[in-house]
Structure 1
Amino acid sequence: MKMLNKIKHQHFGIILLVLFTIACKTDKKQNVQTETEKKENNIIEVITRSMDFQTADTLKSGWNTFAYKNLSGEVHFFIMDKLPSDSIVESDIKDHLLPPFDDGMKYLIEGKADSAMAAFGKIPAWFNEVKRYGGTGLISPGKTAVSSINLEPGKYMMECYVKAINGEWHTSHGMWKFITVVDETTNFSPDEADHTISVSSTDGYTFDTQPKSGINRFKVEFIDQVPHEHFNGHDVNLIKYDASANIDSLVYWMNWMNPTGLRTPTPKGFTFLGGMNNCEAGEIGYFEVDLESGNYLLISETPKADEKGMLKTFVVNDK
């Protein structure tokens, strides 16, 4: 009888071991599938914890989807600047590109417009040949922005030029990174969009559909791209706002040339949820947002965006 019980216990132990092994293999297989799915969708994770971009140094060309997690305490974004030469190195950025921007902004804060323009005039000539291939719109702390952009092979500078509380650029605090895009395509295409936003310097935003609560995918068509009064182009930022928000204060803040523009702290009552950063004329970008019921707006990071038709409000209701 003791022997029979011993055998039963042994068999029971073997069964538990087999079941445990199968479960482990199943979990491992599921994890592998999850990683495979990520690779097939070509999702590139970008994390900011302070003034940094934690992400891959090398990417494939073609369509890439970025999931940008802002784990810091300030609003950020990223834009992909395609450099005109692969020979541009760190010293070209730190010693020649950033100082004129630093000096120019300092003079603007001091109210010395002429000195600011003289400082900006020292920006290296090669910077005028930079092409922009999109990125995310502004994103609040604790939020994740998802965007898909089409990258050509070459050397890029990923950057965030929002300003810190003292008025200094985030780039000057280290928030930039070289990324190499190799001549090997991802073979990935974005899913169809639920809504299309067309943006141009003449007609502003053309956006007629009504987003609903839940996941919404937006396609952004850049009909043209021109430098505005702040020497930059136009983009699309999606923002949720509450009853305490003052939209006029947001319009002012979206112009970095204003002393407190694009500077920490952000205007009260607004939560930044991403969007699509500047792209070249004729280019397309996508972004995805999980919307709750509430009041929202689309706005460009340009001076007087409201007067240019680059501000649209809409309401999201429950399903």
Structure 2
Amino acid sequence: MKALQPFFKTHGNTVKILIISAFILHSCGPDKKANTDEKLVAKKDSIVQITTTVMDFKSPDTIPYGWNTFNYQNKSTETHFFLLDKYPEGKTIQDTKNEVFPPFDKGMDLINEGKTEAGYAEFNNLPAWFFEVVFSGGSGLVSPNKNSTTTVKLEPGYYILECYVKMPNGKFHSSMGMAKPIIVSNEKSTISPPSPTTIITISSTEGINYSGSITKGPQVFSVEFKDQVVHENFVGHDVNLVKLADTTNLEALESWMNWADPKGLITPAPEGVTFLGGVNDSPAGSIGYFKVDLEPGFYAFISEVPNTMKKGMLKTFSVQE
């Protein structure tokens, strides 16, 4: 795909927004309230509660800047996550509707017709500001009726809270309503990051690594992003924790984690996997945290990229009684 090389070299970090988050715009905008008639503001010393019951995010509309701990309750029948996308100053979803829809819709039409190279080439017509969006972390995948607790550091600004797991028909959750503007204010949070029991590092060259054994009970994992790159499916790496069963097929899990695969990230998740959170796509040099209460059994850390085994981004481990 030589015609695509200039585009991905210059704009690779934002292809995630381009291919996935633009689906948001058909169902959500700053003139539509994604929660209630009253704007909800999170206190600077409180945990940010996010709840999904169907295809939605119920959360505060405004949160403080700095360290924020998110308690995500997935009360739905689908697997979800949330990712925080920081928009450039002065830009909102409405700007994306006006300036991104035409090239995006044409590009996606071409891709769906099997003209992949021509479709991606069409994205060269997108506005320059669109490639300044910063993926700023969030929760890893969470199975139905499970919770996750994630701590990330955020700068003030306008963000979009989104999930792009796919429906059985291939439609992204974000196009079904799982996208919500959220403001990070100029009031500083008083939350501090937790002390980790296990330190995880992730990079494009060394994969996912950690030292020591992981024990049962309450655990706090820190995730350091030593670098961040665009992988073959046009997304950056992250860390997801999954509990494995005896029936789990790791190759099926690896394929499912690649959204670009026709069956990737489509509900239901593969047999024998229970997602317990993690830290979503974050900038190079950043650190995020997630908490989990581990039971004895078999687990894995896995990233949402292709070829995780080859890249060292699928690491299994056991927790003893």
With the shorter chain as reference, the TM-score category is 0.7 to 0.9
C-alpha displacement at 1:117, in angstroms? 2.3
- Match status 1:132 vs 2:135: yes
3-state SS in 1 of match to 2:310 = coil
Does the residue aligned with 2:182 lie in a helix, a strand or coil?
Answer: strand
Q: 1:208 to 1:178 in 2, by over 3 A?
A: same
Q: Which residue pairs with 2:35 in the alignment?
A: none
Partner Cα separation in structure 1 for residue 76 and residue 97 of structure 2: 23
8 A contact 2:44–2:188 mirrored in 1: no
Aligned to 1:181: 184
- Does residue 1:278 correspond to 2:281, yes or no? yes
- Are 2:65 and 1:65 equivalent residues in the alignment? no
Letter in 1 for 2:312: G
Q: For residues 182 and 120 of structure 2, what CA distance do their matches in structure 1 show?
A: 30
Change (3 A) 1:193 1:98: farther
Q: 1:205 to 1:219 in 2, by over 3 A?
A: same
State the secondary structure of the residue aligned to 1:137.
strand
Matching residue of 2:79: 75
Q: Which amino acid aligns with 1:77?
A: F
Q: CA deviation at 1:84?
A: 1.0
Aligned mates of 1:109, 1:274 — CA distance in 2? 32
Distance change (3 Å), C-alpha of 1:168 and 1:97: farther
Residues 1:260 and 1:212: Cα distance change in structure 2 (over 3 Å): same
Which of 168, 190, 214 is the matching residue for 2:193?
190
3-state secondary structure, aligned to 2:80: coil
State the partner residue of 1:297: 300
Which residue number corresponds to residue 229 of structure 1? 232
Q: 1:61 to 1:73 in 2, by over 3 A?
A: same
2:320 is aligned with 1:311? no
- Of 45, 57, 64 in structure 2, the residue corresponding to residue 53 of structure 1 is 57
Return 5+ residue gaps in structure 1 as ranges.
Answer: 1-37
Code of the aligned partner of 2:188: T
* TM-fit CA distance, 1:279: 0.9
For 2:195 and 2:124, how far apart are their aligned partners in 1?
A: 43
Superposed CA deviations along residues 223-258 of structure 1, whole A, max 9, x for unmatched, are 011111122111000000101111001111111111
Determine if the alignment matches structure 1 residue 239 to structure 2 residue 254: no
Distance 2:298 2:176 in 1: 34
Alpha-carbon separation, structure 2, partners of 1:129 and 1:266: 32
CA distance in 1, matches of 2:78, 2:282: 24
Q: Distance in 2 between matches of 1:68 and 1:102?
A: 32
- Cα distance in 1 between the residues matched to 2:257 and 2:102: 22
Instruction: In structure 2, list runs of 5 or more residues that go unmatched.
Output: 1-41
> Aligned pair in 2 of structure 1 residues 106, 77: CA closer, same or farther (>3 Å)?
farther
Q: Percent identity?
A: 49
Distance 1:98 1:163 in 2: 20
The answer to whether the 8 A contact 1:108-1:258 is kept is no
Aligned to 2:142, the other structure's residue is in SS state: coil
**Separation of aligned partners in 2, 1:285 and 1:123:** 31
- C-alpha distance in structure 2 between counterparts of 1:163 and 1:176, whole Å: 14
Say whether the 8 Å CA contact 1:214–1:291 is kept in structure 2.
yes
Query: Which one of 246, 251, 255 corresponds to residue 258 of structure 2?
Result: 255
Let me know the Cα RMSD of the aligned residues.
2.2
Equivalent residue in structure 2 for 1:200, among 183, 203, 221: 203
Q: Give 3-state SS (helix, strand or coil) of 1:252's partner.
A: helix
Deviation readout 1:119-163 (Å, 9 max, x if unpaired): 555554333211122100000010001000001111111111111
Instruction: Give the C-alpha shift of residue 105 in structure 1.
Output: 6.3
> Residue in 2 aligned with 1:154?
157
Distance in structure 1 (CA, Å) of the matches to 2:237 and 2:51: 25
- 1:104-123 to structure 2, matched below 5 A, reads 111-118=114-121, 120-121=123-124, 123=126
Query: Map of 1:70-109 to 2, 5 A cutoff?
Result: 70-85=74-89, 87-94=90-97, 97=100
